[in-house]
Structure 1
């Protein structure tokens, strides 16, 4: 049994002047203004923490498929359910928001709708509480609803809107506040673009979101969710086995569901034979009634938030030292964890012991249990914020989490994003430690995979996060900062958002000129990148000018690989201008250099580019010869991506020659 709370404990709110009567929380004495101020000063920081929106986290794992929430103790909400049912049948309502403070039951109400509402043959639940990327959400929804997932990530938003327009589907996005900045602006523009498009065009499908804060977005239909009504709250406490003046207590806490559950579980754990509300006096909560009605305490905060902090404090103080350490240390993770992950941040205990204590924390509603193959544990969002506040500096726990993920990383080659999830978690923890250079190294490790698999929105979010951090620290003269700007520009280019791509490549050019005074390697690369974007938007003459500048620098500084790239880029620009002979000359120069320096990848691409140029001018036999040479190289070096291009190009040439069977084979 934990030691009885005492007045000397700064986390204890018990005052000696008050006691509960037999029926109501009557007070035989009042705590004075000085004592109230002590309590206000102590709980104010955590109250602020519970009310504010945290910075959006870097893209993490999307918890999707179904709510996986127990409705065993469900009570009431008939009015709210009826209102949502009405909106779901309204042809002019496309986007419904359930808004409320933490713990009011937003997710539970959404889960009730998801499980029991009729009229939607297909439905999908997406929990974005850990910064899930839009790309993951769109791909999974499209797959679940039986729609083709486009190869180009830039088409995902449009594909998702068309999917929702085509049928009568229900999409629920839980914990939307995790995607918002403190000013309620979007942390990721891709979600913003989707919601704006959906409310603009709409359809027979419905999208429901739950959130602690409303985003800056028009045409939402909002349901402000408050606590349970008094009869509903009484029914909940009764079903949980709690005795005492239930009506008075439900009124006192405004029927806040999570607060009622926390109090009930606290009483049942501490007084299993007599879980009566009068026992709260012995748990450091004698003055709960006065404190929840004192304007000095409540101030600008809603009453349930104040009660939540006071009850969480009381619950926390009754934990054993191991339980306290466990709760605080696992709060460093994002997402559900198993006992192995918990043990990694609490060395010295056994996994069996940790598993037992995790289950004890579930009994107090401080953790939730997920049974999906392997037993896993996660926080309610409001309890997670409380635990992270109580934990304070989590440097050591972050490092222990990094070590845990390092032991579990999957070696390349990777096939799915799931294969690199450990790297993304390491990036997150290093970012939290403000070790941005090291976070860069981790992201750079899997950047090519993200690019080749088309996860451009994740690249935008991840690189954008690092760039914003470096801008705050003023580390402009950092080659990694230059790479991040360049990579972000590439990601926007792949998404077809050319203006943003140009802006970031221009910034990378400025940084390159600051840090590359000697070899000017970075400057040539940035010039080439700008040339490629201008080529994409049809400004071919500007593209030629940028590539010529890059070529001049490469030749002056003796960097043949950059020279070869610049020649290839010039070939592309002249081909776009319709000047095929000049394009061929540049490709031939590029091919010569790649052979000299032994760049087999570059050699293969040069051959492919030559094949393209000859195909454009109708010299199909020469095009076939170049494509065949490229195909041979790609097979030798194992470049499956370019091997696919070679086969496709050969198919196109044979199609142009009217040899359709051969085209089909390629």
Structure 2
């Protein structure tokens, strides 16, 4: 009996269904090849129909719960001898991360495959908020379409490499020892390689270079790759959509990735120990907008602190963001312009969809409507806004996760402003309190207003029983100030001084 085996077409279909039930990808789920005591490269060969060592073949089947490996193998020696060998694509995926699990996304995968293989788009981007699954989707897509390319290269931009460094890395994927000294030369040589080969090039995490000195160079580089004649495709994942590239053209398409639908989110939660029938599960999924990363982060807490009682967790009216996601969203917030931050602050205060016209009327200083529109477009491009369409006009709000982080930033910066004014007796340190009216419209119970009460508690923790004197001190500083200089300061301080939570 031969010491090597290969999978039949029917056998691969059986394995495919088994791995889907587990939420595993074909080659990016590390647990699969680890459980089979093999490597990702061998797992790829298994899927390509290559012959692999008998023991490893059996272990790969058993790892996904298939004990009857004979049903998977192609055992006819005659067939084995006459089988046409399928060319194996060149793969440089050393920078591709491992993937724990993957659920659903069939519609998105089909759309991406259509753009990259049938329509031969030169540039496709996957955009979406942090944690939504952009990289996971790209990995699943690679599993699905890699045999349709003769070359596949995955490069991570999370370390913010210089463009010249990236170009040298890409060129060495084609030919070892290549070193270029300038961007123009490197780009020209890369385009030559993309003309020679039908290549799928994945650039993962493009947002890492935004606001960096390399930002402009990268933008020009991507535009040039999308415009030049070649037979390859570039797939980009990013929290932000690249600037100055027209979407939905023959050469460029953009997929704005949303959260998992309920059915697929339930499958993910079931893989984390839930039955799928828990009370409040649908509310939990909607609260986190089906964000896979956040659902994975919150489930251990629900299980350990609330004994798996989802309804009990929801009754706390709290939102768990997680340190990793909080840092990402905070960094993204800090990179915004002043106007963009102001817009997010207003949306966090109102906690409901707000129309453009309503937003425009609340800005303290009159701003050109075109600038406000540009700010909204920029925030939408960064996946920070949610659109709401009514019968009357378009409105905007924040995803709950973004709402939480922006609210925390608003409170933290406001406390810092007040402390600077108290120390310096100079109201010019006021920014947020001057430009934003913190009371949510329609609020009857001021002590129940989330932002005001959280702000008051932080101030009480800082000043204790002297807090009323602090408020009076600030109000005295406002005397004889012009309405423009005061803005909303007086109103905000007055309402804060009227809160009594003790």
Give TM-score scaled by structure 2 length.
0.43
> Which is richer in helix?
1
Give TM-score scaled by structure 1 length.
0.33
